[in-house]
Chain A
Amino acid sequence: MSVVDVLVVGAGPAGLAAGIEVAKRGGRVCVVDRNLEPGGQLIKQIHKFFGSREHHAGVRGVDIAVELLEEARALGVTLRLGWEVFAIRPGHAVDIVQAVADDTTGSAGNAPTESFDARSVVLAAGAEENALRFEGWTLAGVMGAGAAQTLINVWRVRPGKRVLMVGAGNVGLIVSYQLLQAGVTVAAIIEAAPRIGGYGVHAAKIRRAGVPILTSHTILRAEGVECVEGAVVAQVDGTWCPIEGTERRFEVDVICVAVGLHPNTRLASLAGCRLVFSPALGGWVPLHNAVLETTVPGIYVAGDAAGIEEASTALEEGRLAGIAAYERLRDVDAEGHAEIAAIQRRLDDLRGGPFCGGIRAAKSALQTAGETPCPAT
């Protein structure tokens, strides 16, 4: 059994940032990720980021991933890539299993496991894409928008020739643009709400490229035998119900679903962390306080796993969780902690503006609800 100060689950921006902060303070830290290529969702973000200079504004996500990894490696952060955490036992003992075997010559699935003895754990395994159920939703060719983004920007493979994008939030708009860059036609973007949810500038790019955005439209069905051959959409009324006679068919071979993400809460749940349902944060989320500690002392959460936001907030939360995890900070210890205060200010800046009102309120509600009821240990 290996002993570490902090075990971090997930090598995305939050996890890497947490690992970096622990290593900077001289702590022993191991970051575990099931993917052989670390960087989380950053490695598929080929667009320039928003935000401010200290948040890498103007830098492409893929390049931010490279910088983070170099910093982590230089500081001696241990990365276990191709491994998955499957248990967190009290204390905390963390068990991992090899997800991607080195040797695929058929050892009948008895993948090796290892255990860690960790003073603290940071859960930074991100999110999952929401599914959308419609007739034909299981046909090959129906995939998450994030999945299509992985194909085009990481695997450098087109998912098909013509795509219908379902959802006009930032993910739907950005991935549509990236599909165009990859030489894939986007027949249309449909959005059930009466307004486009993503940023106007993302919508503007896609509209001047000739891609229609149909608000108040939903998908009725995907057509095809085993694979997508077409999609039928219809307009919806004020109660989200399809309006008869407005059906329209698009000949597409891919349907991308961009209807939001939800935090990945499996490990938090297994470890006994209390979850709360927060629509603004994407669904079930581990209850956490201002220093990102969950209801289980010593287990912290950061990034999309703590509520669906952005890469920039994931980075900052990762930093905060890394510091808190290493120093075993409870909420009260944050008073007067200069570094934590600076991070919290930067998080407030990132959460400013009308697009983030729901998130600000939700995060603040969690923090009042979760005066972490620390059981006597």
Chain B
Amino acid sequence: MRIEQHPILGPLPEAREVTLRVDGRVVTAREGEPIAAALAAAGIRVHRYTAKRSEARGILCAIGQCTDCAMIVNGVANVRTCITPVADGMVVETQRGVGRRSEM
């Protein structure tokens, strides 16, 4: 799902590979990109489930305003994955519900 060649943007620039663990699964990412980019590239579209009806949510605004992409990152809930860059060894989990309750 990565765009390797683009008529205007050119070839995908080189980037150091970093490794994430997403719900236990190894996902490779490009250093500097937001977590949500790595997930999208890996075909992972569901980021969380809502508190009341457990409905799936994924990227909606992609610029940090709507919070639909929020996940638990390194144990911290409600992290907006569309604006938070990846880091090597980062642990990303599908969030169920909101806030501290989802970390339990």
Residue of A128, A139, A155, A183 with most chain B CB atoms under a 10 A cut-off: A155
Query: Which residues of B have CB within 8 Å of A157?
Result: 1-3, 37, 40-41
A156 at the interface (CB under 8 A from B): yes
- The residue of chain B having its C-beta at the shortest distance from the C-beta of A257 within the complex is B60
Interface of A is mostly: loop
What separation, in Å, do the CA atoms of A174 and B76 have in the docked complex?
A: 37
Q: With A104-B73, A157-B40, A182-B3 known to touch, is A141 a contact of B78 (CB < 8 Å)? A: no
Pick from B40, B74, B78: contact of A151, CB under 8 Å: B40
A35 touches B64 (CB 8 A): yes
Q: With A158-B3, A159-B40 known to touch, is A108 a contact of B76 (CB < 8 Å)? A: yes
A144 touches B12 (CB 8 A): no
B62 touches A156 (CB 8 A): no
Interface mask (B35-66 → A, CB under 8 Å = 1, otherwise 0):
01100110001110000000111111111111
Q: With A155-B40, A156-B2 known to touch, is A227 a contact of B58 (CB < 8 Å)? A: yes
A239 at the interface (CB under 8 A from B): no
A363 at the interface (CB under 8 A from B): no
A146 touches B63 (CB 8 A): yes
Chain B: how many interface residues by the 8 Å CB criterion? 43
Pick from A105, A144, A148, A155: contact of B33, CB under 8 Å: A155
What separation, in Å, do the CA atoms of A147 and B73 have in the docked complex?
A: 22
- The residue of chain A having its C-beta at the shortest distance from the C-beta of B36 within the complex is A155
Q: Interface size class for chain A?
A: 35 or more
A150 touches B73 (CB 8 A): no
B74 touches A106 (CB 8 A): yes
A181 at the interface (CB under 8 A from B): yes
Query: Which residues of A have CB within 8 Å of B73?
Result: 104
A104 touches B78 (CB 8 A): no
A109 at the interface (CB under 8 A from B): yes
Which of chain A's residues 113-165 have a Cβ closer than 8 Å to chain B? 128-129, 138-144, 146-148, 150-153, 155-159
The 10 closest A-B pairs by CB, nearest first: A140-B58, A147-B62, A226-B56, A155-B37, A106-B75, A140-B45, A150-B62, A106-B74, A46-B8, A156-B3
A-B contact pairs, 29 of them (CB 8 A): A34-B64, A35-B64, A99-B64, A100-B85, A104-B79, A104-B84, A104-B90, A106-B76, A109-B78, A128-B61, A140-B47, A140-B59, A142-B60, A146-B62, A147-B60, A147-B61, A147-B63, A151-B40, A151-B62, A153-B9, A156-B2, A156-B37, A181-B7, A181-B8, A182-B3, A226-B46, A227-B45, A227-B46, A227-B58
A residues with a Cβ closer than 8 A to B are: 34-36, 46, 60, 82, 99-101, 104-109, 128-129, 138-144, 146-148, 150-153, 155-159, 181-183, 226-227, 264
